[in-house]
Amino acid sequence: MTKLTFIANDGTQFDVEAENGSTVMENAIRNAVPGIEAECGGACACATCHVYVDEAWTAEVGEPEAMEEDMLDFADDVQPNSRLSCQIKVRDALDGLVVRVPERQG
């Protein structure tokens, strides 16, 4: 299992154990992380699972693909480290990943 840490907008930290092959969004929903709405269910068709990847993890997580970049245009307060959590696949190399949930979803 891979450990993920979600930091809600109010600073509350959620540490979860995630199965490899699942997405960061799926684990947020399973663990009732506030602020992750995931209206499209992970189809990369909305921006309601927007997160900020901790700076220490941006290289390992990688850059968004073109379709994700298009959807990020609909997110509020996009930053250079913005990603859609539905597009981040959990794998061993992400053990300890920290993501922050924005104040609101687009």
Domain ranges of the chain: 2-100
CATH of domain 2-100: 3.10.20.30
CB atoms within 10 A of CB 34: 13
For the record, the structure tokens of 82 come out as 């913005």
Rounded CA-CA distance 51/33 in Å is 12
Q: What is the pLDDT of residue 64?
A: 97
- Sheet of strand 82-84: strand arrangement: 13-18, 2-7, 97-100, 50-53, 82-84
- Please determine, for residue 74, whether its predicted confidence score (pLDDT) is greater than 80: yes
pLDDT > 70 in the chain, percent? 99
Banded model confidence at residue 47, pLDDT cuts 50, 70, 90: very high
Distance separating alpha carbons of residues 100 and 17, to the nearest angstrom? 16
Statement: the pTM of the whole predicted model exceeds 0.75: yes
